[in-house]
Structure 1
Amino acid sequence: MKNQILFTFCFLLIVSFVHSQDATTSSPQEIDMKVRALGYRFYQDGERLTWNELTDATNSVEEANKLIQRAKSQNTLSNILAFAGGALIGIPLGQKAADSDPTWELAYIGGGTALIGFHLALRAFNNVNKGVDDYNLTINSTAQYKFQPEIKVLANSNGFGLAIGF
């Protein structure tokens, strides 16, 4: 009877040791980013990540994590500015539809606010794209160069423009 108990104890110890070894050998997976109409979607190992889970997943690569945190705050601020700009544009349009005297100054202010929000959204896209690419390149040592375009909004005395860098 003692031999059976000893054999069962040793068997369970070996099985638990092998199981714990299998659980710790998993390496970090690449993060996929997809741009949708209402924002970004991040996937790791087939599961969707939120912004907070994304920053937690990229803690091992400091530079990528900083870029992603910056992009998160820029994305939040751009959403707030876009909402406020749309509301300020909509007020005079509603007044015009109601056949009252619209205050077009609000629409001008709203247009400026929406442009600032658009600029921040582009910067957030560039930062999160670069952060995810940096993370994926760091965890995947066999990776080659990845295409990383940057989009910038330029303003000077001649007007506004978009610059695309490759």
Structure 2
Amino acid sequence: MKRLLMTLTFAIATITLCNAQKIEMEKGFGGYKYTQNGTRLTMGQVVAAVQSNPEAYNLIKKAQSKKTTASLMSLVGGALIGWPIGASIGGGDPNWTLAGVGAGFVAVSIPIASGGNKKAKQAVELYNSSLDSASNISFRPEFKIVANANGIGLSVNF
């Protein structure tokens, strides 16, 4: 009885703990939201989670780089747009050329951010598909009820 209990405990623990969880990606206001097991992940946490798959890791690193570049460009663009608007509100003489340059920065950052989101989506899909194939192919336990001279038992083959 003790062996049966230990075998069942080991089998259940192996099944529940060895399977990695999928990363879900959904579009929200201001960007994408990554979740795993119901907890929200930052881009750095997604990079760490995907590290076991080299192809997905390379894609997510490129996505992270593009996201950082786009964020910096949009920040600079927003500041260049806001400066003349603030000067205009304050009663000063605004430099609208500066606002035009800022609009250019923002316009360039949009396709960069879009490319980063596409790379991130590809990376997450690649990672999730590798989890599906790994869990379905390599881990197929086989349970059998065995009877011999020592009694009846449960056999688990991996």
Same topology, TM > 0.5 = yes
Aligned residue type for 1:74 = K
| Aligned residue pair count | 130
Identify which of 6, 20, 29 aligns with 1:28: 20
> 2:155: which partner in 1?
none
Aligned residue type for 1:28 = A
Aligned residue type for 1:107 = A
Q: TM-score, normalised by structure 2?
A: 0.71
C-alpha distance in 1 between matches for 2:57 and 2:122: 10
Q: Percent identity?
A: 32
**Greater RCO structure (CA 8 Å; 6+ sep):** 2
Aligned-pair distance for 1:38?
A: 3.0
Q: How does 1:98-109 map to 2 (within 5 A)?
A: 98-109=90-101
Q: TM-score, normalised by structure 1?
A: 0.68
Q: Deviations over 1:122-155 (max 9, x none)?
A: 111110011111111222139xxxxxxxxxxxxx
Identify which of 98, 113, 134 aligns with 2:105: 113
Flag structure 1 segments of 5+ consecutive residues without an equivalent: 1-10, 143-166
C-alpha distance in 2 between matches for 1:141 and 1:39: 29
SS at match of 2:133: coil
SS at match of 1:63: helix
Flag structure 2 segments of 5+ consecutive residues without an equivalent: 135-158
